[in-house]
Amino acid sequence: MNPTTVDAPTQRTHSAAEHTGFRLTDSCWRDYFALSKPRITLMILLTVGVAMVFASCLLGVSIAPGVWLSALIGTSLVAASASVLNQWYERDRDSMMQRTQNRPLPSGRLTTSEASIFGWLLVIVGLSILAIGTNWTAAAVGLTTWFIYCWVYTPMKVWSYWNTAVGTLPGALPVMIGWTAVGGSLNSWSGWALTAIVVLWQFPHFMSIAWLYRHQYTQAGFRMLTREDPSGVVAGWHALVPALVLIPLSMAVLYPQGILSWIIALGGGLAALTQVIASYRFLVVRDDTTARRLLRSSLVYLPAIMLLVVLRWVCL
């Protein structure tokens, strides 16, 4: 075996470990960016933006550019902080999983102190932007979202299979950040209906991921449903039942009244139906093929229903 191929990763790990401050080199910036999970943040911002449009149309108010920027930037920083601190907390377990062992912390490209400082800076700045640029309610929702994700859901992953259900809450609460940022009430049925859509959507989405990486999750010590029930039957039901509930909910949140709004609402129902079909197939035949199809259908459904919400409230 060529000794240089073994020593290179070790040298990178030792080199990073020698730093205890906060480095800002070009290569480090790329790792900080990766640590923030930008693709997940973009998905979150999609729900925030749609919630802002939805609330503004219902309330009959316009959204000032400063509120738009503050809500989106503040939420993105809070979400990025949650991702960073999640990886900081799980760095040892991430090193045991093939899908995560090349992340900045397990690979040694960044140190734990760098990740910790970065994560805390992000949440402080993000919450400040939300509080100053939107309102204190939106900032409070942001803080609640961040706290549940970092300090309830993340440690829960190693001691209870209910972690996925709990994790759907911080995954969906950014909807209420956008809703309240434009003056929407925390008591609004419409705001929580849109939040419920994102909550329910996460079950088929994460059940497919839990199945695809079940062996790696088990090896790392994470308590996923696919570890508790290796057959995947329970995971299949956890995907199918929420997917079924999404059919009427997807239509109701679109407020069908006239012919055009009913057409859009039926489109929402059909989008949800694709997830039901994929979830049912996964429940019946639990293998990687059906799990990947379920994952793909979930990645289509969320942008689709969000687009339909915008069409309903902006174009009609």
For 26-183, the fitting CATH number among 2.40.160.40, 1.10.357.140, 1.10.3720.10, 1.20.5.510 is 1.10.357.140
- Is the separation of the CB atoms in 52 and 68 below 8 Å? yes
153: number of Cβ within 10 Å: 22
172: number of Cβ within 10 Å: 22
Structure tokens, 248: 């009427």
* Ordered per-residue pLDDT tens for the chain, 316 residues: 433 333 333 334 434 444 555 666 667 899 999 999 999 999 999 999 999 999 999 999 999 999 999 999 999 999 999 999 999 999 999 999 999 999 999 999 999 999 999 999 999 999 999 999 999 999 999 999 999 999 999 999 999 999 999 999 999 999 999 999 999 999 999 999 999 999 999 999 999 999 999 999 999 999 999 999 999 999 999 999 999 999 999 999 999 999 999 999 999 999 999 999 999 999 999 999 999 999 999 999 999 999 999 999 998 8
Q: How distant is the alpha carbon of residue 197 from its chain centre?
A: 13
Identity (one letter) of the amino acid at 301? Y
Identify the three-state secondary structure at position 101: coil
- By the 10 Å C-beta count (0-12 exposed, 13-18 middle, 19+ buried), 258 is classed as exposed
Give the pLDDT score at 315. Answer: 84
Structure tokens, 24: 């800002």
Give the Cα separation of 52 and 304 in Å (integer). Answer: 17
Give the Cα separation of 122 and 124 in Å (integer). Answer: 6
Structure tokens, 25: 């080199």
Give the Cα separation of 9 and 193 in Å (integer). Answer: 48
Residue ranges of the domains in the chain? 26-183, 188-316
